[in-house]
């Protein structure tokens, strides 16, 4: 009798513990309350770096707007969204990353930095201004013009992921 009461007590206790625990998965990777937040506005991100490669501005804007359009249910607007992203490309530079045995540069590193201002009109405690950076390397035997398109897109993809995670994924 005592043994049956112990087993019953443990069963009830386990049931209560399991009922109190909940696990929530979001397959979109976002933490957006779509009942309150329906739109996002994206400004153009002008290039304010010393070194300018003009296609970068359009590439960045297109990648950023595609990311939000594809991974969220937010409507992308030109202005006055519930979420607002603005900023500028503040750095695009190249530096020698490694030196070969002959004393010349063997590898060059490209760096891109974007300053982002984020405003959440629904929850202003999530507002921020922050810089996001990415790098890519190429062999110094190659001309920058030959690899620039691909490397800039890689850096943009990285920065867009960082911005997405910082704004709506809240990781």
Neighbours of 55 (CB within 10 A): 11
* Residue 36 in tokens: 């309150």
Domain annotation for the chain: domains and CATH numbers: 31-169 (3.30.160.150)
Q: Where are the beta strands (DSSP E) in the chain?
A: 39-42, 75-77, 83-99, 105-120, 128-139
pLDDT tens, residue by residue, 55-77: 999 999 999 999 999 999 999 99
Give the list of residues 6+ apart from residue 126 with CB closer than 8 angstroms, or none. Answer: 118, 120, 167, 170
Q: For residue range 133-166, list pLDDT tens digits in order.
A: 999 999 989 999 999 999 999 999 999 999 999 9
Instruction: Render pLDDT for 107-136 as a digit per residue (tens, 0 to 9).
Output: 999 999 999 999 999 999 999 999 999 999
**Furthest CA-CA distance within the chain:** 87
Report the C-alpha gap between 168 and 40 in whole angstroms.
11
pLDDT at 22 over 50: no
- The mean pLDDT value of the chain amounts to 86
In the DSSP assignment, the letter for residue 165 is I
Return the closest-CA partner of residue 119 out of 111, 128, 131: 128
Kindly state the DSSP code that residue 74 receives in the 8-state scheme: P
**Which range among 42-46, 92-96, 105-109, 153-157 shows the weakest confidence by mean pLDDT?**
105-109
Q: Give the pLDDT score at 118.
A: 97
**What pLDDT, on a 0 to 100 scale, did the predictor assign at position 98?**
75
**pTM assigned to the model:** 0.79
Using 50, 70 and 90 to split pLDDT, how confident is the model at 9? low
CA 148 to each of CA 4, 91, 137, 139: distance values in angstroms, whole numbers, following the listed order:
74, 15, 10, 12
Show Cβ contacts of residue 11 under 8 Å, excluding neighbours closer than 6 positions: none
């Amino acid at each position: 009798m005592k043994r049956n009461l112990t087993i019953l007590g443990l069963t009830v206790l386990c049931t209560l513990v399991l009922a109190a625990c909940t696990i929530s998965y979001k397959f979109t990777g976002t933490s957006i309350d779509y009942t309150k937040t329906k739109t996002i506005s994206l400004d153009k991100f002008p290039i304010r770096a010393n070194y300018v490669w003009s296609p970068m501005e359009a590439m960045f804007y297109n990648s950023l707007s595609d990311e939000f359009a594809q991974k969220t249910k937010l409507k992308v607007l030109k202005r006055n969204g519930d979420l607002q992203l603005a900023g500028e490309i503040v750095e695009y530079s190249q530096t020698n990353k490694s030196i070969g045995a002959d004393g010349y540069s063997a590898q060059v590193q490209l760096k891109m930095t974007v300053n982002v201002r984020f405003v959440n009109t629904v929850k202003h405690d999530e507002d921020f201004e922050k810089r996001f950076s990415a790098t890519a390397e190429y062999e110094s035997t190659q001309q920058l013009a030959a690899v620039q398109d691909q490397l800039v897109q890689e850096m943009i993809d990285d920065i867009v992921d960082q911005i997405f995670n910082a704004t709506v994924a809240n990781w």
